[in-house]
Amino acid sequence: MRNIFGTILAVAALPAVAETLEPEICIPEGCYLSPDAGCYVPVGEAITFSGMSSGEPDEWSWTFEGGNPAVVFGQEAEVVFEKEGRYDVTLTVSGGASQSRCSLEGGLQAGGTAGVWNIFPDEKNLLASVPLDVSDYGYYAGSNIYGDAFAEKYSKPVMRAEISGVSVYFASTACITEDAAIEVSVCGADMQGMPGEALASVSLPAAELLPYDSGVPTVFEFDNPVAVDDDFFIVVGGIPCSMRGSVADEIAILCSPDRGENGSSTVFSHVDYDGQSYWRKDSDRHLSMAVSPNLTFVGNEGPQGAVGNIVDVPGLSVLGDELCFNAKYSWVMVYDLSGKAVKRILLPSGRVPLSDLPRGVYVIAAESNYSVDTLKFVKR
């Protein structure tokens, strides 16, 4: 059974046993599945993994590479990842003479920026466009005589986040209405839980869309990052649906397989037909669209993966990827979140590049006349 937060597979059974134990890892609430990793989580924030299993396990053991703590016992496990990186997560369950282990497929990405979506790892190779019934014309999540827009819903992030753009995986981009503007928006939820007012929008001509068999998704970049701190929707609208003889607009977004009546459903469609115009949750199909906002957890201290001042102090500032000095210092030290010194500068002046530092959160300490100025920043 899966909940909306997803269940990650990749079961590796230990020695054969009489009773079958099949553990599964559920990603933490407010974190996300990702096209590039098993899941995406913030740095420096306590998150809780939970496990599920067939059989009747009486022991649960977690191993978190890069996590604090690194080992946790119990069906639920609270952990903090203190540094940005890609890590392995493993769950082992035991019951009687049985033992089995599973890992987070694709690993875990902590911090930085990641594409996120609602597609499960075991569904990635099964993505396809979904045609409507043969009696109708068009696609579910694409050119469709009954609607002009589709929305994918995402749960509230565990901390405030920002979206810089959206990757859309199109199965088909064939169009005769080449000048149609395909618009992608980030929307909050209205009082009825439907897509509400757009927080930001960007569009591309239909002729510029890329089919996924080209090897890359179509990326819609916003002029400025869009802040989200509650449930939100990614809406893809303006999809044309015209016919001229034997040719037609056939724009279709890839979707997960239908998960069946009890499976999660995260797609909404906008009906604009025969004088009717409204949003509806698509409960007749249970699937998700291959639509991936590029998201960065930012919390209250700015992006976990972008250069920017968090605290303004006399004499120190960050401009772009350079540390600037407006006062005379005898030395400057740069520390990561664990307190480890990663850079030392003697008698600095002018500007010092930070481009050689890995992405992450840092603290600068600069000494002048026996006093120390500090500055915290994050680097993309």
* pLDDT at residue 300, rounded to an integer: 58
Model pTM score: 0.74
- Contact indicator for 128, 211 with CB cutoff of 8 Å: no
Percent above pLDDT 90 for the chain: 54
What's the chain's average pLDDT? 86
What tokens appear for 21 in the block? Answer: 């134990």
* pLDDT at residue 56, rounded to an integer: 85
Q: Residue 17: pLDDT band by 50, 70, 90 thresholds?
A: very low
- Mean pLDDT throughout 297-312? 53
Of residues 80 and 309, which shows the higher confidence score? 80
* pLDDT at residue 339, rounded to an integer: 66
Least confident of 81-90, 148-157, 250-259, 310-319: 310-319
- Mean pLDDT throughout 5-22? 56
Residue 16 has pLDDT above 70, yes or no: no
Residue 351 has pLDDT above 90, yes or no: no
Percent above pLDDT 70 for the chain: 87
Which tens digits make up the pLDDT trace of 277-292? Answer: 899 998 888 999 999 9
Q: Residue 136: pLDDT band by 50, 70, 90 thresholds?
A: low
